[in-house]
Structures are given as structure tokens and as C-alpha cells.
Amino acid sequence: MNRRWIYKPIPDQQQIEALGKSLNINSHLSAILLQRGISSFDEAKHFFRPSLDDLHDPFLMKDMERAVDRMKLAFDREEKILVYGDYDVDGTTSIALVYSYLRDFYPHCDFYIPDRYAEGYGVSEAGIIWAEENNFSLIIALDLGIKASDMVVLANHKGIDFIICDHHLPDKKIPQAVAVLDPKQDDCNYPFTELSGCGIGFKLLQAYSRKYADEKVVFDYLDLVVVSIASDIVPINGENRILAHYGLKKLNENPRPGLKALKEIAGTKNDLDISGVVFTLGPRINAAGRVAHARGAVQLLISQTEEDANAFAEKINIKNDLRREFDLSITEEALAMIGSDETLQKAKSTVLFKNSWHKGVIGIVAARCIERYYRPTVILTESNDKITGSARSVNGFDLYQAIEQCGDLLEKFGGHKYAAGLTMDRINLPAFQQRFEEVVAATITDEMLTPVVEIDLPVTFDAITPGFISVLKQMAPFGPDNQRPVFEAKNIYVLNSLATFKDKHLRFLAGQHGSDNFFNAVGFDQIDHYHQMQSGDSFNMAFTIEENTFNGSTTVQLRIKDIKFN
């Protein structure tokens, strides 16, 4: 697949030199910092040395005082409290966080997760009825609830109060809960709007402990928070950067038993970074709710002994293997459907439906289809006599707005710019397929339909020194809005050891004309370049710089993003 290289603007040279001098770093590094909005010594200090003291006051969030006071009242009255959350990683870590905190000192609490298949996403009527039947009078809703106005009204009629902790975009109508914690509300003045759902739950506990208990206790749960930050793909800047930094430290040095067991069963040998969480822990936690009920994921995360944690981790790993089988087989079917239909191949979008596809993996399948056919994609299946599905987008295209223009054909939908879920009556499927394609075709550009490699800076191999790499490492944790810097180096050649592995990846020792430095390079899914590289032609290479640890030895490695021949 051809990729479009785009270059970030190079900052003003005087600013580059001034910042480099104040921080005693070279011009390449100061340019990268300026590109990320860091222009002074103090800003760099906060960036390179995250501090828990720099977390925002949780009481700046709208309704926080009311939420904390309602919790305290429940404790004083010995009311039953239900921790209610979503079935994905963000939801299950949120439940584990709040439930574990409460359980340590308050016996009258339990947790509830809606069944993905029987109840679907969000606060369900079945959940409210269960809470009533079991005499709960306060529900703390996590990673959902901002659009649950009707369910909150139903709960109120049954004498059940709600505290909503959500991070999704609200509708114009805000639920009439006791407290609604969501910094995306128009009238909420909280300084940071991009917390994960688990992050909102953390702020609630931080506020409660600051007022009534020991705030330091809450920091012990940051390993759960970083798993949510990584898996929910929220920006790794601002408050999330601080939470992620300390969360990774906890996760790698002293994780709770459930996460420790999950790391071990995933075969994790080195410290995890954000990407490592995304690809090893996240899918396994998600698998519980994708192919069965997510209660198993929470049971793992709240385990208090290694014995219990190991048992739950084994079960979850089996579910993850099953999830992988569903994922691969459905992806093959979906790609075959596109490949055999000329109209679909020429379309600007992909909308596919099959009633037997497993609901739990269709979001993954949508992402896989985009790897082959780079365009907005909706994968649909049948559940509870409805058509339901997941949608994923491409860089720059607002998927949510496109689906919103099909809103009259849908029973419900939700999500954000790059990912969404939707449900409709079966009779509306053909009209939706036609309308969605029309909306996408009218608004998407050819540039959006070409994958992008965004390059921070050009460098020479001579610039990649141990000191340079040391400062780069301190820019972690990397993730959305603080991605690992991508460099371009020109006139690269294969010095030796060109090889392929797993029939789709390549590795070699890379040299650069005019430089004495050389580095190991690895290119995942880059095998298309193999034959031309054998010819000895020089090329330009876009890459990131990382360290690779194998058998106890750590070396510098260039991870190839793309190659263009001269």
C-alpha cells in the first residue's frame, strides 16, 4: 500500500537554538520538543519529570463535591452501592479500580457489567431491575451513562441514585443524576478533557480520599489507570501523561496480582510501555467480554491472591485464543466479500453484513479491513433481532459525523471521530449502506484515502548517538498526541544481513552513505520492498528509534515505517 509522507513544520531556528542551549540538548531534540508545544525550561521540566503534585484538583470538575458527599452519605447510612461499568478494557479497569477501593473498607458493595449480547452497550433496564431486586440505592456508573437519561429516570422512580463518571461526548440533554462527572460537558471547567473512563473514576476516588481519607492510597491503583489509558487510545499528554508515567512504573515494578498474572501468561519478559499494554494486556482483558461475559475480566483484576489471579488469567487467555480464531476467520470472509464485488472494490467506504459474525470481534475486523482497504469501514452482524455493528475510520475523516447523517435510519449510535457503534432495524440495512457510501463519497478526499507517515525531522545516522537516544527515551510514555518521533534518513543502503521472516517482515543492517554509523533495522509488513533492496539501490527511510532487548542484551534498533527508493 502506497503511503503519503508528510512533514511537520520545522520550528524557528532561533527558538531551536535557545531551547537547546537552556536544556543542554542538540538541535534535533529541541526541535522535536518545540513541535510538541514545549518551548521553555519549565515546560520541559514538567514534560521530562512528571509529578503527581501536578495533577489537577479533582474538585475543579463539575459536580465532584456532590458526588463525594453522596458517597459519604451512602457510607454513613450503610446503603448498598453498585459499581456499574462497560465491558471493554476501560470499563472493566474502571470497575476494578472503584470496587477494589470500596471493598477495602466498605462491605456493602458489588459490581455489575451489562452483557454485550443480551443488553448491549450502556446502562440497561435489566441492570436497573437487578439493582432494585438486590436493594441497591446508589449506582456509580463508569465509562458510560452520559447518554442514559431515560435509565436514570427509571432508576430514580425505583429509589436509586446515580453518580455518572463518563468521558464520552454528552448529548444536549444531560441525565438528571445526583452528579455527572464528565469534563466534556460545556459547563465543566475542568482543565483537562481527555481522561479515560477509568481516569474519571480515579478523580472521584482522589476527591473522596482527599476530603475523607488518605489520598496516597489512590495512587496504588495507577496500574489499572494506565491500562485504560493505553487501551482506550486517549491522548498521552497533560494529566494522562502523569497518570501513565506512574501507572507504568507501578505496572512494571509492583503490579496487582491480576495484572502480574496477565503479564506472565502473555510471556512478557521486558518492561511494558504503552504499546506493550495495547498489544499484550488490552486484548486479553477485552477477550473476556468479547466471547463470554466481562465479569471474568473484573474478577481477574480484583484478585487479591496470586493463586486466584493465575486461575482467572488462564481462563481469560483461553478466551483470547478463541477471540483470535474468530477475528482471523471473519476477517478472511470480509476481505473475500470485498475482493469478489467490483462495486465494493471501487467504493469510498466499506459496509459489510453477515448475521453469523461474532459481535465481539467486529470492531477488530473493521480495523483489519482498513489495513487492506484504507477507507471508513462498518462491519455489521445480527444480535437480538437487530443489526448491530462497529465502525472505524481513517486519518482525518470524521466517522461520527458521517454516521450522524444516517441517524434517521438508526435505532442508536455512539462513539467519536475514529470509532463508533450503531444499531438499526434489519429493514434499514440497504438504505444505510447506500446513504453511508453517499455521505463518505461526498466528504472524503483522496488524501484521506491514502495512509500517512508523519515525519518529525530529517536526521543523519551520525546524529543518532547514545546521548540522543537517552533523551529520546525520556520523552516516553509515547502514544496519541505524543507519538514516538518519526525520522527520515536519506541515501540508506543495505550493509548486510538482509532477511525476511514470517513471510511478511524484513530485517537488515542499515548504513548511510557518508556516515560511519550503522544500525539494525526491522520492517514489519514491509516485505514488498525486499526484491528492490536486493538490487543494492539506495533509498530514503522513515523510521522510529527504539531499544531491542533479547537474551539479556539491549541494542539500538530502527523500526521502519516506510521506504521510498530514489
Averaged in consecutive runs of 10 residues, what is the pLDDT profile of the chain (566 residues)? Answer: 91 96 95 96 96 97 98 98 95 98 97 88 94 98 95 97 95 95 97 97 98 96 98 93 98 97 92 94 88 89 96 93 91 96 95 93 93 96 92 94 96 85 96 98 95 96 95 95 96 96 95 96 94 94 91 90 94
What are the start and end residues of each CATH 2.40.50.460 domain in the chain? 4-8+453-565
Q: Residue 408's pLDDT is what?
A: 96
Q: Residue 69's pLDDT is what?
A: 98
What are the start and end residues of each CATH 3.90.1640.30 domain in the chain? 58-317
Please answer whether residues 319 and 352 qualify as being in contact, where contact means their C-beta atoms are separated by less than 8 angstroms: no
Q: Which of 453, 465, 521, 466 is nearest to 493 (CA)?
A: 521
58-317 belongs to CATH 3.90.1640.30: yes
Which residue type is seen at 443? T
Spell out the residues 6+ positions from residue 351 whose beta carbon is closer than 8 angstroms to its own: 377, 378, 380, 432, 433, 436, 437
Fold of 4-8+453-565: OB fold (Dihydrolipoamide Acetyltransferase, E2P) (2.40.50)
How do 539-550 and 452-455 pair as beta strands? unpaired
Q: Residue 171's pLDDT is what?
A: 86
pTM for the full model? Answer: 0.91
Residue with cell 463518563: 166
Please give the Cα distance from 388 to 428 (Å, whole number): 12
Q: Which of 268, 270, 277 is nearest to 247 (CA)?
A: 277
Please give the Cα distance from 97 to 224 (Å, whole number): 7
What letter does residue 375 receive in the DSSP assignment?
S
Please give the Cα distance from 406 to 404 (Å, whole number): 5
Please give the Cα distance from 327 to 287 (Å, whole number): 11
How do 386-392 and 377-383 pair as beta strands? antiparallel
Please answer whether residues 203 and 182 qualify as being in contact, where contact means their C-beta atoms are separated by less than 8 angstroms: no
What are the start and end residues of each CATH 3.10.310.30 domain in the chain? 341-443
Q: Which of 396, 364, 368, 392 is nearest to 378 (CA)?
A: 392
Q: Residue 118's pLDDT is what?
A: 83
The helices-and-strands tally (H runs, E runs) of the chain is: 21, 18
Q: Residue 566's pLDDT is what?
A: 84
**How many Å is the Cα radius of gyration of the chain?**
25
Q: What φ, ψ does residue 340 adopt, rounded to 5°?
A: -100, 5
Please give the Cα distance from 474 to 471 (Å, whole number): 5
Please answer whether residues 563 and 529 qualify as being in contact, where contact means their C-beta atoms are separated by less than 8 angstroms: yes
The CATH code belonging to domain 341-443 is 3.10.310.30
> Taking the CA of residue 6 as centre, how many other CA atoms within 13 Å lie in the half-sphere pointing to its CB?
10
Q: Residue 20's pLDDT is what?
A: 96
Please answer whether residues 389 and 421 qualify as being in contact, where contact means their C-beta atoms are separated by less than 8 angstroms: yes
